[in-house]
């Protein structure tokens, strides 16, 4: 008999549009668990209340989600049945991991599965800004042709600054090999040998050097207490007036009020922003919405590619099934193991 029969699993946020790549529910059903399917990720208006999440945490053994439902300390501490929280993705700013560890709840994510997709999106934003694609397209539709206003830049010999040299930062550097860029990175947790020894022609620089010398700066660090508001007026003031900022990491890493001021004052050349400081989806008063000439805004879409999402869904399912069977995989809080086993496997 399957050891997961009777285990209750709530897929809080199934992923839209990946049916052509994978049946995201198949592994759960084949495991024998009792699967409940919630609203799809795109149904952003369907958010569970605190009380509803606590009820879920007292009814289900595992929950799987992306980022719509925040598992705060209060919710986690009141969830007495929940064994694990599975993130379909990598960013964990919506889960209070210390609280989960204290409660004895395992938290997992799916590292590396959409790294390529996010890196491609970041590079696409770079090239689109450097080549003035939105402006050129609009210029043509308005009846104009090439002129001084449509002059673009080259990525050739440009200096690309990478903030955070983890999996995605490395993938950006890897994908830029052959473009003849000058690549430099800032990461306080990696040594010069670790960054420069990665074989990607990247040099380690300090914070001020990265901001003052880069032609494009791309953000690839996690959101936590150290990085919230990391990029503010101070950093934007250091940038060249011809430089561009790319953020495909997390919105609150960049202070949107300071970025808005820098863009409107012409202190930097432009920005490509996929993740936004404030509510997502953005509200009508989002300050960057009316900036069209030098700002590209996307819908937190950097990781939203079918093949990558299919990989996320499969690994999330494998994490859930494996861990409910008592074998830890892709844990964000491996230190919880002893308490977790004591609570659920004795």
In a domain, 198, yes or no: yes
The tokens describing 62, both together, are: 């595992």
The total of structural domains in the chain comes to 2
Return mean pLDDT, the chain.
95
Are residue 142 and residue 227 in the same domain, yes or no? yes
Are residue 167 and residue 105 in the same domain, yes or no? no
Catalytic residue among 175, 280, 337, 341: 280
Catalytic residue among 300, 337, 341, 343: 300
The tokens describing 81, both together, are: 């049945």
Residue 67: per-residue pLDDT: 83
Among 112, 63, 109, CA closest to 83: 63
Q: Lay out the sheet containing 106-108: strands in order across.
A: 34-37, 8-11, 62-65, 84-87, 106-108
pLDDT(1) > 50: no
Mean pLDDT, rounded, for 308-334:
96
Known catalytic membership, residue 250: yes
Question: Three-state SS for 275?
Answer: coil
Are residue 37 and residue 120 in the same domain, yes or no? no
Judge contact between 251 and 277, C-beta under 8 A. Answer: yes
Cβ burial of 79 (10 Å; 0-12, 13-18, 19+) is buried
Among 327, 338, 321, CA closest to 61: 321
In a domain, 2, yes or no: no
Are residue 78 and residue 132 in the same domain, yes or no? no
Are residue 198 and residue 331 in the same domain, yes or no? no
The tokens describing 36, both together, are: 């409940």
β-pairing verdict for 84-87 and 62-65: parallel
Are residue 232 and residue 335 in the same domain, yes or no? no
How far is the C-alpha of 166 from the C-alpha of 208, rounded, in Å? 20
Q: How confident is the model at residue 2 (pLDDT cuts 50, 70, 90)?
A: low
Q: Could you give phi then psi for residue 71, rounded to 5 degrees?
A: -100, 95
**Which residue segment(s) compose the domain that 211 sits in?**
115-297
Catalytic residue among 67, 121, 220, 250: 250
What is the share, in percent, of the chain residues with pLDDT greater than 70? 99
The tokens describing 56, both together, are: 């879920």
Question: Model's pTM, two decimal places?
Answer: 0.86
Question: Three-state SS for 68?
Answer: coil
Angle between helices 133-141 and 115-130 (to 10 degrees): 50
Residue 122: per-residue pLDDT: 98
Question: Three-state SS for 218?
Answer: strand
Q: Could you give phi then psi for residue 88, rounded to 5 degrees?
A: -85, 85
Q: How confident is the model at residue 294 (pLDDT cuts 50, 70, 90)?
A: very high
b/e map of 249-272 (b: 16 or more CB within 10 Å)?
bbbbbbbbebbbebbeeebbbbbb
Residues 6+ away with beta carbon under 8 Å from 235? 211
| Domain termination site, one of 262, 278, 297 | 297
| Domain termination site, one of 280, 297, 314 | 297
Judge contact between 76 and 106, C-beta under 8 A. Answer: no
Mean pLDDT, rounded, for 86-102:
93
In a domain, 1, yes or no: no
Helix (H) or strand (E) holding 344: helix 337-344
**What is the DSSP track for 149-204?**
GG----STT-EEEEE--SHHHHHHHHHTTTS--EEEEE-TTS-HHHHHTTSS-EEE
The tokens describing 97, both together, are: 């991991």
Known catalytic membership, residue 300: yes
pLDDT tens per residue across span 245-291: 999 999 999 999 999 999 999 999 999 999 999 998 999 999 999 99
Residues 6+ away with beta carbon under 8 Å from 327? none
Are residue 171 and residue 129 in the same domain, yes or no? yes
How far is the C-alpha of 319 from the C-alpha of 317, rounded, in Å? 5
CATH code of residue 229: 3.40.50.720
Beta bridge partners of 219: 163, 247
Residue 270: per-residue pLDDT: 97
């Amino acid at each position: 008999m399957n050891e997961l029969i009777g285990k209750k699993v709530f897929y809080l946020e199934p992923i839209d549009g990946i049916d052509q790549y994978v049946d995201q529910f198949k592994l759960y059903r084949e495991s024998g668990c009792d699967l409940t399917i919630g609203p799809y990720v795109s149904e952003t208006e369907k958010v569970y209340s605190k009380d509803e999440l606590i009820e879920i945490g007292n009814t289900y053994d595992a929950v799987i989600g992306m980022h719509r439902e925040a598992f705060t300390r209060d919710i986690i501490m009141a969830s007495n049945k929940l064994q694990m929280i599975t993130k379909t993705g990598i960013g964990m700013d919506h889960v209070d991991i210390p609280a989960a560890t204290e409660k004895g709840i395992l938290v997992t994510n799916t590292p590396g599965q959409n790294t390529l997709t996010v890196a491609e999106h970041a590079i696409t934003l770079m090239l689109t800004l450097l080549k003035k694609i939105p402006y050129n397209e609009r210029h043509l539709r308005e009846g104009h042709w090439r002129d001084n206003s449509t002059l673009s830049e080259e990525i050739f010999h440009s200096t690309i600054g990478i903030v955070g040299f983890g999996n995605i930062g490395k993938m950006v550097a890897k994908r830029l090999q052959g473009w003849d860029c000058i690549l430099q990175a800032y990461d306080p947790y990696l040594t010069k040998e670790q960054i420069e020894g990665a074989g990607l022609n990247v040099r380690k620089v300090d914070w001020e050097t990265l901001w003052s010398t880069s032609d494009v700066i791309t953000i690839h660090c996690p959101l936590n207490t150290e990085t919230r508001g990391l990029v503010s007026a101070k950093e934007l003031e250091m940038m060249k007036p011809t430089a561009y900022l790319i953020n495909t990491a997390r919105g609150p890493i960049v202070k949107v009020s300071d970025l808005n001021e820098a863009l409107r004052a012409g202190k930097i050349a432009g920005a490509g922003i996929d993740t936004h400081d404030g509510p997502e989806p953005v509200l009508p008063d989002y300050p960057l919405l009316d900036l069209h000439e030098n700002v590209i805004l996307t819908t937190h879409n950097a990781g939203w590619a079918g093949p990558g999402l299919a990989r996320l869904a499969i690994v999330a399912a494998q994490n859930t099934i494996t861990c409910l069977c008592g074998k830890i995989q892709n844990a964000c809080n491996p230190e919880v193991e002893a308490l977790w086993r004591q609570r659920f496997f004795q």
